[in-house]
């Protein structure tokens, strides 16, 4: 079966979904009035943001059944945040912050009902979920060390996504590069926030998933140890990051550069050969950025200075960029 026949139905569904994305024409109304093109108030609440996003996942999984595991690996990046909520609550002997829970039904594999009084009990309750092995490993190695545990969970989820990317056939090179760009961005974010956790730079460097395979450990150590005033940031970054983000002066500049590079890659996917996975992934990644933008727009409209500061970063890989 040719790719045109295999992906023709999926391509039609992807085009229908893509037409619902916000564009630069919607930006003034979204930022000024906080209203989307359908006239709905933009909300940053998880129960408003995530169910529509999950519907995209469900639609694309049905339209591209051979790529089901790829889409689920992407979705696990959200579910791992829910697992972090459960682990924090268990480690601190507190109730889970259900207001921050990301509702991912019908694709969710864990729920708030798994909340436990201790990490040991939580790990036992995870025994029949995809997180069984990693949870047991982290309990043995870190237990109540929350920063190390959360980095371990991130690394596990990103490693699963990397494995899915590397399993794609050669004809899906554009899709592979899109997925690796997501992981590379998460790796860079780990370098940025890792030292704030009080972790050793070498440990942070070894926790990266793609960058640790692309460059030498000393390069990542230097990036993880960088502080403002220690010279230009871009000089200590891996070459692959500088090529994508440009000669950035701050970590925020790096992240914005990486997201804009991914936006350009998504646009290229739409004008390339349509009957492959890359256009569907590009549309989904843009929908992910739309969800991120909704959260930041809602925070900014609520009057929080942090929300306003997040807007450039949140919109960097969105079609709202223009």
pLDDT of residue 76: 97
pLDDT tens digit string along 138-166?
Answer: 999 877 788 889 989 999 999 999 999 99
- pTM for this entry: 0.93
Average pLDDT, rounded, for the chain? 90
Name the least confident of 115-129, 239-253, 271-285, 294-308. Answer: 294-308
pLDDT of residue 203: 82
pLDDT tens digit string along 168-195?
Answer: 999 999 999 999 999 999 999 998 887 6
pLDDT of residue 58: 97
Residue 232 vs residue 309, higher pLDDT: 232
Check: CB of residue 129 under 8 Å from CB of residue 109: yes
pLDDT tens digit string along 36-85?
Answer: 888 889 999 999 999 999 999 999 999 999 999 999 999 999 999 999 99
Give the integer Cα–Cα distance in Å for 240 and 271.
24
- Average pLDDT rounded to a whole number, residues 294-322: 81
Q: How confident is the model at residue 322 (pLDDT cuts 50, 70, 90)?
A: low
- List the domain boundaries for the chain: 3-321
Q: How confident is the model at residue 231 (pLDDT cuts 50, 70, 90)?
A: confident
Give the integer Cα–Cα distance in Å for 220 and 193.
13
Give the integer Cα–Cα distance in Å for 212 and 225.
15
Three-class HEC string of the chain: CCHHHHHHHHHHHHHHHHCCCCCHHHHHHHHHCCECCCCCECCCCHHHHHHHHHHHHHHHHHHCHHHHHHHHHHHHHHHHHHHHHHHHHHHHCCCCCHHHCCCCCCCCCCCHHHCCCCHHHHHHHCCCCCCHHHHHHHHHHCCCCHHHHHHHHHHHHHHHHHHHHHHCCHHHHHHHHHHHHHHHHHHHHHHHHHHHHCCCHHHHHHHCCCHHHHCCHHHHHHHHHCCCCCCCHHHHCCHHHHHHHCCCCCHHHHHHHHHHHHHHHHHHHHHCCCCCCHHHHHHHHHHHHHHHHHHHHHHHHCCCHHHHHHHHHHHCCCHHHC
pLDDT of residue 305: 61
- Average pLDDT rounded to a whole number, residues 127-140: 94
Burial of 45 (0-12, 13-18, 19+ CB in 10 A): exposed
Beta bridge partners of 41: 35
């Amino acid at each position: 079966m040719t790719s045109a026949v295999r992906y023709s139905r999926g391509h039609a569904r992807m085009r229908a979904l893509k037409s619902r994305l916000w564009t630069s024409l919607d930006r003034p109304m979204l930022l000024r009035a906080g209203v989307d093109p359908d006239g709905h108030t933009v909300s940053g609440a998880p129960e408003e943001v995530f169910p529509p996003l999950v519907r995209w996942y469900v639609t694309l999984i049905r339209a591209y059944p051979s790529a089901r595991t790829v889409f689920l690996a992407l979705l696990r990046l959200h579910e791992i945040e829910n697992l972090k909520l459960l682990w924090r609550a268990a480690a601190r002997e507190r109730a889970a912050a259900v207001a921050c829970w990301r509702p991912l039904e019908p694709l969710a594999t864990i729920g708030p009902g798994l909340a436990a009084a201790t990490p040991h009990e939580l790990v036992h309750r995870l025994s029949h979920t995809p997180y069984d092995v990693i949870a047991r490993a982290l309990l043995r190695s870190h237990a109540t060390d929350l920063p190390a545990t959360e980095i371990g969970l991130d690394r596990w989820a990103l490693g699963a996504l990397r494995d899915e990317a590397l399993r794609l056939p050669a004809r899906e090179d554009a899709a592979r590069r899109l997925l690796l760009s997501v992981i590379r961005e998460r790796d860079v974010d780990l370098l940025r926030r890792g030292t704030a956790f009080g972790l050793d730079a070498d440990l942070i460097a070894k926790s990266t998933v793609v960058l640790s395979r692309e460059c030498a450990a000393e390069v990542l150590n230097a990036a993880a140890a960088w502080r403002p005033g220690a010279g230009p940031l871009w000089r200590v970054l891996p070459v692959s990051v500088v090529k994508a983000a440009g000669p950035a002066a701050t970590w925020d500049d790096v992240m914005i550069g990486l997201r804009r590079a991914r936006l350009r890659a998504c646009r290229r996917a739409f004008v390339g050969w349509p009957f492959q996975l890359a256009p569907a992934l590009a549309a989904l990644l843009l929908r992910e950025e739309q969800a991120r933008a909704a959260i930041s727009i809602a925070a900014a409209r609520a009057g929080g200075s942090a929300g306003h500061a997040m807007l450039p970063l949140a919109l960097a890989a969105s079609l709202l960029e223009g």
